[in-house]
Structure 1
Amino acid sequence: MQQAEEAVQAYAQLSSGERMARLKQAGIEVLSTSEQRRREPGLRVRYDVHVSCLEAIRIRRKDTSGMGAKQEQELERETSSSVYKRVERLAIKSLYTLGLEHGAVRLEASGNGGCAVIAVDPDPWKGDGKLGAMYRNSWQLHQTALNEEKQSSRTPVMGMDPEFLLVQMPESKIVPASRFLERTGVAGCDSVTIGGRRVYPVAELRPAPSAEPRELLTHLMRAFAAASRSISDSSLVWQAGGMPQRGLPLGGHIHFSGVQLTGGLLRALDNYLALPLAVLQDPRGSGRRPRYGALGDFRLKSYGGFEYRTLPSFLVSPVVAKGVVAIAGLIACSYDQLKQRPLAEAKVHSAFYEGRREIMMPYVPSLLDELRQLSEYGRYERYAAPLMRLCKRGQTWDESRDIRQLWNIRAGS
């Protein structure tokens, strides 16, 4: 409750212009009050979404004809799954971008098939007995889960599914990964939709999860080996990073289980991992954001954990991949001790989305120094330290490189 009130106070200090700017930087469509007034009368579809602990606790759809008539219904998660998820994700993303984990967002269906934010209420639990009870119940359940987690002292389990492309040179022609890899398995292919058609151009490694960084990286090497056995064309270049080929962004998603999803954990991952990595990223990869790789991007998973989706594909080198795994594990164990939030500053927030390394770079040494002071650091130092040295130097990686050379991989072997 105290953290929620502190977030509300910080939100109140932002001007309406600052709030709108942050939302737009994150790729969220916003309609100002004046823009709403200028719109032609007609059918309006609106969603009032109440979010607590990064999860929707109530969504109401309102259809307004413009003639005063209204139809209202409450959406159920099970029966309205696709709409519910889409609206829920946008509301959570909007609140998170504004520094909130709880609150209400009013969305309106826009002409492009999406929704626009038209209003945000940072403390809807005040003044409504029923709503207040819903929020308090959510907070209580969340706190109980956190207390149980602390008592169990379990080490978080991590997994990953980083992506790479197969490219024919010198034409820079993308060869679909589906030509060599199945859709399932430790080395498979992933889909994208182009012109309404689903294709499978992206290769994806899905190593078995582990609570130990060394074991997870061993599993990653096995996934690489499986990919190399299947990809028989040795003339193809394997590329990773944020966007090694224009128009096809790549991700390096990290999976967590055994640790409760909280806004604090997401913000620690954003500030202590995504921000330093953004300083290393090849400038051509910054075009991945904001459509992909937005701050705090996550998905809940069926196994009970969640997937952190902000990072680009860290397969660019073993040093980067090992460091990402180690630092992510360190953060998951100790995020409640990490208090720096440079991304809360307007200039750093915009620099992250615009790829302005010169603004982000001065904040990196202090973030990394704080990680080194954690009691758990020794367990992760072997893999974390080399990446930290790279981050402090600020030398960007090269997304045009063939990652096989760095990983000592031979196609078809």
Structure 2
Amino acid sequence: MTDMNLENEIRGFHESINYRLEQQSLSTLQYHGIKRTPIDKGNRKQLKVRAFHYQILSTSRSVNSPEMFKSEGSDWEGLTGNSLYFEKELQEFALQCLYLTNTPLGECVVQRNGKRDVAVVQLKKLTARELLKTEQLALQYELEKSHLKQTMTFGADLELMFQNEITKRFMNGGELTTNEFGYDQAVAVHQNRVFHPIIEIRPKPSAISEELHNNLLVLYQKVINQTSKFHLNINTNPNPLSRFFLGGHIHFGNVPFTFQHVRLLDQFVAIPFAIAEVEPSFIRRKNYGRLGSVRRNSYKGFEYRVLPTWFHLIPISLPLLEWIEYIMKNAYRLDATLFEENSLKRYYDQRFQDFSIDQWAFKYREYIVEEKGKLLFDNFVTYLKKL
């Protein structure tokens, strides 16, 4: 396939999913709390990611060479799937930067400056002509896959913590061994013993949101019964302890993993949810809850990780799930928009809480054309008012 044909394929793909957002400058990342760092900063390792939407085309690690042999700029070595854990985290961060700047085909260089401090070094838009042959083939394969249609599935994993009413100690999630209950990878150490304090409930996925909600209700009741029986308190604070954060993740199977789908979830779910949230954690929003926080899953789709845990809201959350289902099944008919500066300030900064859910609904209801969509939108807004 020629470069021109590949460019036409990309254009056609974007038209098919209704993705029309113009690229924004690197400076827009500051509104999401993302730092920029100079190109040359000592001997710190950098990661360069080239991607089409969330499909990584190539990943390279910077290599420190002796000065006399060093070529202009950095030297890079390609990485395979066996990259280190921290480099996988950097990959996700680079993809997030590309998403937040609306750069569906681009290159992003990122760098770790400390244990938790990551920053973006460079970011640029690419054309098909600038890709290596292997990258073009990977892109072409991704475009061909997009034509395959399968039944969409919905799942979730909601995080919470169990605390003993008497000892005040948190339960170790590592003791759970069922498919419906598990634990997050976050660890704590107590008396030289490693344990996992964050519990996850994992309902069986479903092709419709109503069935997923029923599955969640069953697990919710199990948790209520068992915690009462063993005198455990349920903690659903989005930031219950210093470095622990609780999320309410939504899983999608057989769904195109594109900037369009993620932007609509940010725009029509996460931002209004944040407006209505009663006791938010702005620390979580600036980290694990940053807009565009997603991860590819093994079900030909992705995990949307932006929302805080909503375990305590499960009994009334059918409107949330139905609205999400509608968005995902109509992503190609809904218009995604650029993030407004004021909207981002309200999302990330507690000083700018001057916008009601009614004001948000008045502004965005006109984006929904179908009567069914308007009904689900109204139900979602009513749900948010109950938070």
Q: TM-score, normalised by structure 1?
A: 0.76
Q: Which residue type is aligned with residue 31 of structure 1?
A: T
With 249-258 and 234-243 compared, the bigger mean Cα shift is at: 234-243
1:112-157 CA-partner distances (Å, limit 9, x unpaired): 476432111122545x3x53x55654444333333333xx6x3x21
Give the superposed CA RMSD. 3.4
Matched, 1:388 2:381: yes
Report the counterpart of residue 90 of structure 1 in structure 2.
93
Tell me, yes or no, if the aligned pair for 1:54 and 1:92 is still in contact at 8 Å.
yes
Instruction: Specify every segment of 5 or more residues in structure 1 that has no aligned partner in the other structure, as ranges.
Output: 398-413
CA distance in 2, matches of 1:302, 1:340: 26
CA distance in 1, matches of 2:189, 2:68: 38
Matched, 1:365 2:345: no
CA distance in 1, matches of 2:66, 2:346: 41
Report the counterpart of residue 3 of structure 2 in structure 1.
none
Report the counterpart of residue 113 of structure 2 in structure 1.
110
Report the counterpart of residue 83 of structure 2 in structure 1.
80
User: 1:164: how far off?
Assistant: 2.0
Paired residue secondary structure (1:176): coil
User: 1:337: how far off?
Assistant: 1.6
**Inter-CA distance 20–298: structure 2 relative to 1 (3 Å threshold):** closer
Q: Which residue type is aligned with residue 253 of structure 2?
A: S
Tell me, yes or no, if the aligned pair for 2:239 and 2:281 is still in contact at 8 Å.
yes
User: 1:253: how far off?
Assistant: 0.6
Matched, 1:190 2:184: yes
Identity in percent: 20
User: 1:193: how far off?
Assistant: 2.8
Aligned pair partner of 2:235 in 232, 239, 250: 239
Q: Map 1:10-409 to 2 at 5 A.
A: 10-11=23-24, 14=25, 18-22=27-31, 25-26=32-33, 28-32=34-38, 36=40, 39=41, 42-65=42-65, 67-70=67-70, 72-80=75-83, 82=85, 84-112=87-115, 115-123=118-126, 125=128, 128=130, 130-131=131-132, 136-149=136-149, 154=151, 156-167=152-163, 173=168, 175-178=170-173, 182-194=176-188, 198-231=194-227, 233=229, 235-240=231-236, 242-243=238-239, 247-318=243-314, 321-341=317-337, 344-355=339-350, 356-359=352-355, 361=357, 362-368=359-365, 370-371=367-368, 373-374=369-370, 377=373, 381=376, 385-391=378-384, 393=385, 397=387
Instruction: Specify every segment of 5 or more residues in structure 2 that has no aligned partner in the other structure, as ranges.
Output: 1-9
1:45-74 CA-partner distances (Å, limit 9, x unpaired): 333221112122112222235725348453
**Inter-CA distance 294–223: structure 2 relative to 1 (3 Å threshold):** same
Paired residue secondary structure (2:155): strand
Q: Which residue type is aligned with residue 363 of structure 1?
A: W
CA distance in 1, matches of 2:249, 2:291: 13
1:180-220 CA-partner distances (Å, limit 9, x unpaired): x5044213333423479853222221110111222111111
Paired residue secondary structure (2:148): helix
Tell me, yes or no, if the aligned pair for 1:50 and 1:104 is still in contact at 8 Å.
yes
User: 1:270: how far off?
Assistant: 0.6
User: 1:260: how far off?
Assistant: 1.3
Q: Which residue type is aligned with residue 64 of structure 2?
A: T
User: 1:88: how far off?
Assistant: 1.7
1:342-370 CA-partner distances (Å, limit 9, x unpaired): 5x222212321224432474334333454
CA distance in 2, matches of 1:82, 1:189: 18
**Inter-CA distance 374–183: structure 2 relative to 1 (3 Å threshold):** farther
Report the counterpart of residue 5 of structure 2 in structure 1.
none
How many residues are aligned here?
366
Q: Which residue type is aligned with residue 107 of structure 1?
A: V
CA distance in 1, matches of 2:222, 2:316: 21
Paired residue secondary structure (1:255): strand
**Inter-CA distance 321–341: structure 2 relative to 1 (3 Å threshold):** same
Paired residue secondary structure (1:77): coil
**Inter-CA distance 7–68: structure 2 relative to 1 (3 Å threshold):** farther
Tell me, yes or no, if the aligned pair for 2:276 and 2:356 is still in contact at 8 Å.
no
Paired residue secondary structure (1:312): coil
CA distance in 2, matches of 1:322, 1:315: 12
Tell me, yes or no, if the aligned pair for 2:153 and 2:252 is still in contact at 8 Å.
yes
CA distance in 1, matches of 2:117, 2:243: 21
**Inter-CA distance 80–243: structure 2 relative to 1 (3 Å threshold):** closer
**Inter-CA distance 21–359: structure 2 relative to 1 (3 Å threshold):** farther
Report the counterpart of residue 4 of structure 2 in structure 1.
none
User: 1:21: how far off?
Assistant: 1.4
Tell me, yes or no, if the aligned pair for 1:77 and 1:84 is still in contact at 8 Å.
no
**Inter-CA distance 138–366: structure 2 relative to 1 (3 Å threshold):** farther
Q: TM-score, normalised by structure 2?
A: 0.80
Tell me, yes or no, if the aligned pair for 2:326 and 2:373 is still in contact at 8 Å.
yes
Tell me, yes or no, if the aligned pair for 2:285 and 2:348 is still in contact at 8 Å.
yes
User: 1:109: how far off?
Assistant: 4.2
